[in-house]
C-alpha cells in the first residue's frame, strides 16, 4: 500500500529564508510523486511532479524537489521565501501498477511567511 507522510503540519519562515517542506513516501512499486499548493478558498495547483525522469525536479514559482530513493523522500525547497508563498502544501503519490488512478495525499503542511 502506498502512503505519504508530511513532517510538520505547520512551518513558519521569514521572508527571504529557505523553505523546506518534508515528504516521505511508502510505495512497493516505483512511485509518481507530486507537490500541490492550495491558497485559501481555492483549488489545488500542481507545483511539480516526479515521474521517474530526472531526480531533481523544478516546478513553478521557484520551487524544486529532489527524489531520493534511498531515503524514500521527496522534499520541497525554495531558496528564498516570498510572502505570496504562504499557503497549504500537499505531497501526493500514485503508482504505475494496474489501473489505479488513486492519488494518496499527505495531511498537508501550512506554510506561513513572516515579514
Partner 1 sequence: DTEVTQTPKHLVMGMTNKKSLKCEQHMGHRAMYWYKQKAKKPPELMFVYSYEKLSINESVPSRFSPECPNSSLLNLHLHALQPEDSALYLCASSQDQGRPIYFGPGTRLTVT
d(CA 113, CA 18): 11
**51 lies in the site for partner 1, by CB under 8 A:** yes
**7 lies in the site for partner 1, by CB under 8 A:** no
Task: Candidates 20, 46, 54, 83: give the one binding partner 1 (CB under 8 A).
Answer: 46
**34 lies in the site for partner 1, by CB under 8 A:** yes
Nearer to partner 1, 40 or 115 (CB): 40
Structure letter (DSSP) for residue 43:
-
**22 lies in the site for partner 1, by CB under 8 A:** no
**61 lies in the site for partner 1, by CB under 8 A:** no
d(CA 41, CA 64): 24
Number of residues engaging partner 1 in binding (CB under 8 A)? 24
**53 lies in the site for partner 1, by CB under 8 A:** no
d(CA 45, CA 85): 13
d(CA 112, CA 108): 13
Nearest by Cα to 81 from 63, 106, 54, 105: 63
Interface ranges with partner 1 (CB under 8 A): 32, 34, 36, 41-46, 49, 51, 90, 94-96, 99-103, 105-108
Amino acid at each position: 500500500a502506498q502512503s505519504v507522510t508530511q513532517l510538520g503540519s505547520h512551518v513558519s519562515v521569514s521572508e527571504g529564508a529557505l523553505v523546506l517542506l518534508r515528504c516521505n513516501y511508502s510505495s512497493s512499486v516505483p512511485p509518481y510523486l507530486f507537490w500541490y499548493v492550495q491558497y485559501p478558498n481555492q483549488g489545488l495547483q500542481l507545483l511539480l511532479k516526479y515521474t521517474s525522469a530526472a531526480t531533481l525536479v523544478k516546478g513553478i514559482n521557484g520551487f524544486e524537489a529532489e527524489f531520493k530513493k534511498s531515503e524514500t523522500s521527496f522534499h520541497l525547497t525554495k531558496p528564498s521565501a516570498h510572502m505570496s508563498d504562504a499557503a497549504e502544501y500537499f505531497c501526493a503519490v500514485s503508482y504505475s501498477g494496474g489501473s489505479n488512478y488513486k492519488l494518496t495525499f499527505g495531511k498537508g503542511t501550512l506554510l506561513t511567511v513572516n515579514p
